[in-house]
Structure 1
Amino acid sequence: MGNRFYFFVISIICTLCFSTAALASNHDILTNYRLHGIKNIQKELDKSLGDKNYWQEFLKNKDTQFGYIESYTNILLCDKSKSELLIYSRDQNNTYKLRKEYSAFTGKFKGDKTKEGDLKTPVGVYDIVKKLSKVDSFYGPMAFVTSYPNLYDRYKGKTGQGIWIHGLPSNQERDEFTKGCIAINNKSIECLNKNIDIKKTILIIKEKTNSRNTVSKETLALLLSNLYAWRYSWLYNNLEDYLHFYAEEFKRFDGMNLEKFKQYKQRVFSKNENKIILFRDINIIAYPNIENLYKITFNEEYKSDSFSFHGKKILIVRLQNNQFSIITEK
């Protein structure tokens, strides 16, 4: 851990030294390090990661048509209003290009899915959690299981399950709609199987054709700077600043409301422990058909004297007045 963290800090120093968004000059950084050591430099660098200017420079040449994406090589985009499922794949230039287009059946009724049996296809951002190679012949040769209901769906109290991407019956008739799944013809589902790695694929389902997929670089810079400002307050035990990033209507994945969450965090922060908190594989995607709502995921490495964690973190945030508010997390 020590060597990895040291090289992580040094890599940030190098980035900042040559960035136009640097908080201090190379000379100032080296002088600070010479006089005060790595811990003092580390704190300044941690703080500077909350600077929007740094992220604007960082994002300048990034493809952000679907948001800021580090860990997904394929984007599945289902537009319910156009009855289509599209595959975008990342090329050697880290740009997402349209690769395949499939006609698709979706739920019988328009609108977002809210409860079991409403015959609607959900609107949202989903993982593909499993491939089913043996399914009833009604679903064609195979099916891909989505993560519905996701964290935001559960926060909103939505019910139901079993939202798949699947094929069509080979020996029987079917309606031109589903009970909520996404259905494509059997050649298309086999083609899809050949073209995606489900661990590196995200599914975006939207309702309106004119709804945006692209997130501006300025917005992404705001979100990333907020993410690291939140991390900074967490890392250096500033409870007031930390809680300022949580919405009044916050409810954690397990149902804990904001007041109980504050009490819990007060106990944790009162230990005043030194921490290591690293974020990797960050993804920020605008929630379809909802203004200023974003899903942020990343792999978190957390270590303190009393606790350690290494795994996936999910935040659902609302962006308002240049700051995000976390409405739920897991």
Structure 2
Amino acid sequence: MMTAHTLPKPPLTIKLCAPRGFCAGVDRAIQIVELALEKYGRPVYVRHEIVHNRYVVDGLRAKGAVFVEELDEIPAEHAERPVIFSAHGVPKSVPADAQTRNMFYLDATCPLVSKVHKEAEIHHRRDREILLIGHKGHPEVIGTMGQLPEGTVTLIETEQDAWEFEPKSARQLAFITQTTLSVDDTAGIVNVLRERFPDIVAPHKEDICYATTNRQEAVKAVAPLVEAMIVVGAPNSSNSQRLREVAEREGCRVSALVQRAADIDWDAFDGISSLGLTAGASAPEALVEEIIGAFAERYAVTVDTVRTADETVVFNLPRELRQTGHPSTQAAG
């Protein structure tokens, strides 16, 4: 007689989105911490989570990284130890503070975020009024707004904000964006701004990063093919949250952001025969495999990969870390 334990597993097709997971900026930031530990020993201090993923942060902490929110949390006796700024970027006041304290710092800001910082400075030099499309309180937004004097940049979060915005003067307007936004939501805000201010200056090249765009496009391709979607990522990861929203918008009746397999709400996935699976730009592939393994315990799983783009982008490491004997440290940006 068959028991519940010997019943055949129901079939489940997992559509694996590609690209997914680590982007070049995240990969570079993690390498910077690992190579700094290798070169300078432990501890190495990191201001804010290097990337928004608890698994990654805990792994680096186990190797000797110490995470702080502000520089004044670093003990005076460790003031000579390296401090690393996270991939999200920091206000100009942070490296200035580090210099005042005679600290040695390494900047792991994603080069695509640094590009937005440079755009903001150029607009400011040209006496343009600057609008930043982004999410209040996100570290990247804090860092970008902190490149210029307080009050210089106006944050626009929604289309409603764009309709209600009133320029402070007759100066020319320009807009920049957070790199990890929803492509579709941002397009709606930009359309409002262009309708109201036809001469507004746009970025020369899209500010939303290639990895954010590519991961959202992969989700758009997979979502209509499946009953549910899991995005592997952290709740404070902007690009991961946007992926979940994209899946929901594309019609997935279940669209869940999950950090680890232990967090899966199995009741929500009861009775499904198809599942989409992706990962935010700061989520490692090991966690994707963990999720697949958890479903394989309950279902007869078939995995199909749906690829919508190939990614070959690699960014240079800081000069101080390039000569360490690692082939990856020699790659061109």
**TM-score, with normalisation over the residues of structure 2?**
0.24
Q: Which has the higher helix share?
A: 2
Q: Which has the higher strand share?
A: 1
